[in-house]
């Protein structure tokens, strides 16, 4: 009763609260507030507050789609499209970051610069291509006429925008290149590394000589290593999934259909006057080639061509999902010339592929209604498991798939995907676990750490043993005999090498070798797979007097490319880490 009394006494207050609340709701309704909320984000994303529009994204994706179709003659598969969708997004993000950086640096292009790129003494390549004469000069009259034509106004606006952007990017590139100049000293040092050689002798003590049973690892050793190396065990967001698959392999009917198609084309192939055009018209999976071949070199599969006459076509040949017809063009005593026409046995896009897609979509629908495991059991489908890490398109059990990663990156635990079409199958996945980014717990990486600590202790044991042997045995030959090891030798080892013949990849050991003088023997060197004791038997030093200008330029270009590539990759990633990037693709594209 006490509560009811309080409510009665507060009726006036409650009434005013309700009136105010309804007033706010009416006001928001009048301003279209709820429609805006329901529509969600209005742009695909943003980089430091600068939006990425859906139109920009679609234009970029359309460019890739057109380019892919022109190059391959095929339309994109869903998986290829997913990869280009990701590429389009990354292109736009990188472009925004670069544009913003150019703004920060004050890199601009004046109107006069644009004019010079069009009408100047040395115009842009686009102008040279469109208005160039055979002698390399520019047809200035035609250029002026094109500029002054009213119907070209919008075209020239677009050209100017493109040239302004190109010029600005070139300035940015020049700015970056200026900070990555390769000095003459760097060129000389690279020449010395390329042209300095040594003949060496060495004794190798593999770490594998010490067995695991000879290494004692305490719990405290594992804990200490974990505490001192937690950065090594930082993990990205990861996903565990369950999935069922629906095979897209051709049916028996698909095989019979393709066989019939090939048999029907046999007589037409024999009568064709232009075999290259015939192969192109029927999209042969084997490229046109009609070279003379020694009969002994004809592969076993194509031997039937030797049994037919000139101008005739073999009976149908089948191997691993591909059908062949071979037409003999010419034959001598020892050689034969022929053309191969082939087709892959593929699943019918309607009778087979669409049917499998419908089955996969039905499973996805009922799995969301009745439960993933229950529906799989009802249909007698095998449930597989997979694992994936954010930022890596590889999914264990499935392989590379940008589509599946796109689904996982926006899905919660328990979410079931729609049917995802891959190259050889349809997949329906359920997210069984999402592990957030962070440091892996000690118990989770304990055995991994045990391997590392064991190897460290094993290395130390070998290093201590070799140091003791080296102190007791002065010469390399004496050391090898005392240790029961082989004395090995390598001639012409380059200072720029990373591998040692007979020892594998050992860059640290190579570096130590060229820190020695001729005739000098090293102390124990801790390598990648073993401890080494080496002696430099002879050295051939590079002579800078032999550094020709052409070689100098070649080395400079090589070093410049290495610097530029390494810098740009790191720089773009750094810009991304420092930027505020808003990604609304999950809401706008994958809903």
pLDDT for the residue numbered 153: 87
Beta carbons within 10 angstroms of residue 536's beta carbon:
21
**SS3 label, residue 584:** coil
H-type helices in 310-429, by residue range?
Answer: 355-370, 372-378, 402-409
| Residues in the chain with pLDDT values less than 70 | 1-42, 179, 590-591
CA atoms within 13 A on the CB side of 43: 14
- d(C-alpha 336, C-alpha 298), whole Å: 9
Establish whether domains 197-223+443-540 and 252-346 are of one fold.
no
pLDDT at 179: 67
pTM: 0.64
d(CA 318, CA 324): 6
Query: Which pLDDT does position 40 carry in this prediction?
Result: 54
**Cα 181 to Cα 187: distance, rounded to the nearest angstrom:** 11
- Identify the three-state secondary structure at position 431: strand
Query: What pLDDT is attached to residue 17?
Result: 41
- The domains of the chain are located at 2-39, 111-178, 197-223+443-540, 237-249+350-436, 252-346
- pLDDT at 414 (0 to 100): 95
* Domain with residues 237-249+350-436, CATH architecture: Roll (3.10)
- Rounded (5°) CA angle 572-578-579: 85
**Within a 10 A sphere around the Cβ of 129, how many other Cβ atoms?**
9
Level-2 CATH architecture, domain 252-346: 2-Layer Sandwich (3.30)
> Using CA atoms, how far apart are residues 422 and 434, in angstroms rounded to an integer?
23
Cβ-based neighbours of 249, under 8 Å, separated by 6 or more = 347, 424
pLDDT at 591: 47
The DSSP letter of residue 394 is E
Helix (H, G, I), strand (E, B) or coil at 484: coil
CB under 8 Å, gap of 24 or more: what pairs does 435-443 form? 435/235, 435/237, 435/238, 435/239, 435/240, 436/237, 437/234, 437/235, 437/236, 437/237, 437/390, 438/234, 438/235, 439/230, 439/233, 439/234, 439/235, 440/233, 440/234, 440/235, 442/222, 442/223, 442/226
> Helix 54-72 and helix 78-105: axis angle, to 10°?
130
| Tokens of residue 118, six digits | 């069009």
CATH 3.10.50 assigned to 197-223+443-540 = yes
Place of tokens 């052409």: 550
Residue 436 makes CB contacts below 8 A (sequence gap 6+) with 237
**pLDDT at residue 3, rounded to an integer:** 37
As a whole number of angstroms, the distance between CA 323 and CA 423 comes to 20
> 253, 315 in Cβ contact below 8 A?
no
Return the pLDDT at 298.
93
Q: Quick one: pLDDT at residue 259?
A: 95
Task: Give the C-alpha separation, 315 to 7, whole Å.
Answer: 95
Using CA atoms, how far apart are residues 89 and 64, in angstroms rounded to an integer?
Answer: 12
């Amino acid at each position: 009763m006490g509560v009811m009394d309080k409510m009665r006494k507060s009726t006036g207050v409650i009434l005013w609260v309700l009136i105010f609340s309804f007033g706010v709701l009416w006001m928001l309704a009048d301003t279209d507030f709820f429609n805006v909320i329901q529509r969600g984000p209005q742009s695909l994303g943003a980089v430091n507050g600068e939006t990425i529009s859906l139109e920009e994204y679609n234009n970029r994706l359309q460019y890739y789609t057109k380019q892919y179709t022109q190059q391959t003659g095929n339309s994109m598969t869903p998986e290829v499209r997913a990869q280009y969708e990701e590429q389009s997004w990354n292109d736009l993000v990188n472009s925004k970051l670069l544009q913003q950086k150019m703004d920060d640096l004050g890199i601009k292009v004046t109107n006069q610069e644009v004019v010079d790129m069009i009408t100047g003494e040395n115009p842009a390549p686009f102008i040279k291509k469109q208005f160039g004469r055979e002698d390399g000069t520019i047809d200035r009259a035609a250029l002026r006429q094109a500029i002054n034509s009213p119907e070209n106004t919008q075209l020239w606006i677009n050209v100017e925008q493109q040239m302004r952007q190109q010029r600005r990017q070139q300035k940015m590139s020049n700015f970056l290149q200026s900070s990555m100049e390769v000095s003459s000293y760097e060129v000389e040092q690279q020449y010395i590394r390329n042209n300095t050689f040594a003949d060496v002798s060495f004794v190798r003590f593999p770490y594998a000589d010490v067995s695991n049973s000879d290494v004692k690892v305490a719990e405290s050793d594992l804990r200490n290593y974990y505490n001192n190396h937690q950065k090594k065990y930082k993990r990205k967001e990861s996903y565990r999934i369950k999935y069922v698959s629906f095979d897209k392999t051709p049916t028996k009917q698909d095989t019979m259909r393709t066989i019939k198609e090939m048999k029907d084309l046999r007589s037409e192939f024999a009568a064709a006057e232009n075999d290259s055009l015939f192969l192109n018209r029927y999209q042969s999976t084997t490229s046109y080639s009609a070279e003379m071949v020694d009969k002994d070199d004809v592969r076993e599969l194509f031997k039937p061509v030797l049994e037919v006459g000139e101008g005739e076509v073999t009976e149908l040949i089948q191997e691993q999902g591909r059908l062949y017809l071979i037409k003999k063009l010419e034959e001598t005593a020892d050689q034969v010339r022929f053309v191969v026409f082939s087709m892959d046995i593929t699943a019918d896009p309607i009778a087979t592929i669409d049917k499998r897609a419908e089955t996969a979509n039905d499973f996805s629908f009922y799995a969301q209604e009745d439960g993933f495991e229950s529906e799989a059991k009802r249909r007698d489908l095998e449930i597989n498991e997979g694992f994936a890490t954010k930022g890596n398109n590889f999914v264990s059990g499935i392989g590379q798939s940008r589509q599946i990663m796109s689904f996982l990156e926006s899905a919660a635990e328990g979410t079931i995907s729609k049917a995802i079409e891959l190259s050889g199958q349809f997949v329906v996945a359920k997210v069984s676990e999402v592990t957030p980014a962070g440091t892996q717990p000690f118990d989770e990486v304990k055995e991994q750490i045990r391997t590392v600590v064991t190897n460290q202790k094993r290395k130390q044991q070998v290093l201590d043993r070799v140091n003791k042997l080296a102190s007791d045995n002065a010469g390399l030959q004496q050391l090898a005999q005392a240790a029961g090891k082989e004395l090995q030798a390598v001639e012409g080892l380059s200072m720029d090498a990373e591998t040692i013949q007979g020892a594998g990849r050992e860059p640290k050991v190579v570096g130590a070798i060229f820190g020695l003088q001729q005739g000098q023997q090293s102390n124990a060197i801790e390598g990648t797979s073993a401890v080494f004791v080496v002696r430099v038997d002879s050295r051939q030093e590079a002579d800078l007097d032999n550094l020709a200008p052409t070689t100098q330029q070649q080395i400079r270009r090589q070093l410049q490319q290495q610097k530029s590539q390494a810098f740009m990759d790191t720089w773009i990633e750094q810009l991304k880490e420092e930027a505020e990037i808003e990604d609304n693709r999950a809401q706008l594209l994958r809903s």
